[in-house]
Amino acid sequence: MHAGREDLAGLGVHVPPIDLSSTNPLPDIESGGLSYEAMASGGMPNAEGGAVYARLWNPTVARFESALARLENAEAAVAYSSGMAAMTAAVLATTKETGRRHVLAVRPLYGGTDHLLASGLLGTEVTYCAASDVAASVRPDTALVVLETPANPTLDLVDIRAVVEAARGVPVLVDNTFATPILQNPLDFGASMVLHSATKYLGGHGDVVAGVIACDQERAAALRRVRAVTGGLLHPLGAYLLHRGLATLPIRVRAQQANAQRVAAWLTTHPSVARVHYPGIAGDPHGLLGTQLRGTGAMISIDLLGGYEQAKHVTSAVSLFTHAVSLGGVDSLIQHPAALTHRPVAPEARPTAGLLRLSIGLEDPEDLMTDLDQALATRGRVPVTAGATHA
């Protein structure tokens, strides 16, 4: 509630101000130049020279960064214009600082991240592996290990501490978008960086696109250097909306989680559903629930017995759910990962054609279940076939 707002009383205001200036008056050449150099080098503006230019630093963005860093138990945070801009900066900064070009990626990952690493656009070589194979896959030239937990879209849980140990000193970046800082703090388990697509739960209302990375001060300086050169700074209006969203984040996450728990339990009994992907539904073999992950979250994926054709029908037949990509907002969304967010992923790693991903919002769960039931039943429920299981 109060993170990033510590100086408001001294300013005589109750709500954080929005600074939309693209440029700032310079007191003189020397102090302005020194401030410019400080920010372009990954530091902060100095008091004498001021903020100079908005591509380098903005006070509204800095407030959000300060708040997010506190939520993630980090020394600093660096915000970007999108989650993919943040991931790009993390790879560029790490490969530049280490002089290594190999990235190890633990699948499954968000499709955009998977595609970015596979594209070779950043001059890196990528190896994909399971979490259990990290130790065997780390190389002398490995610069970064990237993982996501809970993973998108199958909600797989990855033991962060185990991956950090297996990485043998290689920095580990954890995408914490699904869990949010309310349910998981990867830095507490040894991760070097924690990334959020802030577009999702941090904003929570579907009206801002942003990314942010929390880490230590040294890495933050390297990330700011990349941001200053590439121009990926988050717009101050977006930062204001995100900072405002953080104030209600605990309430939203817990309420959406309670709804998702009811919907997930109901889906395990539905005759058209072959499998429910949701933390704890099929057990917790690694013992991560209640230890690493403090809650089950509000994301659900389901495999339909009717495969792609039924998935296609359901996304068109829902009326309360919105058929759209993205997640984490106050309203519920449904989408088909294989055709959309994970379309660029290699076929062998792509989600199944019958899998749908649900982002559960704040609607009444009874209404959500009614909507799903009518969509699943409109063309006749697919009977449970021999050997089909509910997990």
Residue 275 a catalytic site member: no
Query: Taking residues 332-357, what's their average pLDDT?
Result: 90
Q: Using one digit for the tens of pLDDT, what is the confidence trace for 84-110? A: 999 999 999 999 999 999 999 999 999
Confidence of residue 388 (pLDDT cuts 50, 70, 90): very low
Query: Taking residues 237-243, what's their average pLDDT?
Result: 98
Whether the per-residue pLDDT at 351 is higher than 90: the answer is no
Query: At residue 76, what are phi and psi to the nearest 5 degrees?
Result: -155, 170
What is the Cβ-side half-sphere exposure of residue 51, based on CA atoms within 13 angstroms? 16
- What pLDDT sits at residue 345? 84
Residue 312 a catalytic site member: no
What value does the mean pLDDT of the chain take? 94
Q: Using one digit for the tens of pLDDT, what is the confidence trace for 114-154? A: 999 999 999 999 999 999 999 999 999 999 999 999 999 99
Helices (H) and strands (E) in the chain, counts: 12, 12
Q: Using one digit for the tens of pLDDT, what is the confidence trace for 163-199? A: 999 999 999 999 999 999 999 999 999 999 999 999 9
> What are the Cα distances from residue 267, in Å, to 358, 369, 372?
12, 8, 9
Alpha carbons 203 and 237: distance in angstroms, whole number:
12
* 378 residue type, one letter: T
**Domain coordinates of the chain in residue numbers?**
8-246, 249-377
Scanning the structure block, which residue is given the tokens 């790490």?
Answer: 94
One of 114, 156, 159, 175 is an active-site residue; which one?
Answer: 175
Scanning the structure block, which residue is given the tokens 């749908």?
Answer: 356
Alpha carbons 334 and 318: distance in angstroms, whole number:
9
Indicate the DSSP class of residue 289: B
Alpha carbons 331 and 351: distance in angstroms, whole number:
24
Residue 240 a catalytic site member: no
Alpha helices of 184-343 — where are they, by DSSP H? Answer: 217-230, 236-267, 307-317
> What are the Cα distances from residue 262, in Å, to 233, 241, 364?
39, 30, 10
For 150-217, the DSSP string reads SPTTT-----HHHHHHHHTT--EEEE-TTTHHHH--GGGGT-SEEEE-TTTTTT-SS----EEEEE-H
Confidence of residue 382 (pLDDT cuts 50, 70, 90): very low
One of 55, 70, 312, 381 is an active-site residue; which one?
Answer: 55
One of 53, 80, 110, 278 is an active-site residue; which one?
Answer: 110
* 46 residue type, one letter: N
Fold of 8-246: Aspartate Aminotransferase; domain 2 (3.40.640)
One of 200, 227, 252, 357 is an active-site residue; which one?
Answer: 200
Query: At residue 10, what are phi and psi to the nearest 5 degrees?
Result: -65, -30
In this structure, how many other beta carbons lie within 10 angstroms of the beta carbon of residue 34?
15
Residue 175 a catalytic site member: yes
| pTM reported for the whole predicted model | 0.94
Q: Is the peptide bond before 383 cis (omega within 30 degrees of 0)?
A: no
| C-alpha of 357 from chain center | 15
- What pLDDT sits at residue 379? 54
In this structure, how many other beta carbons lie within 10 angstroms of the beta carbon of residue 385?
8
Whether the per-residue pLDDT at 259 is higher than 90: the answer is yes
Q: Which CATH superfamily is domain 249-377 in?
A: Aspartate Aminotransferase, domain 1 (3.90.1150.10)
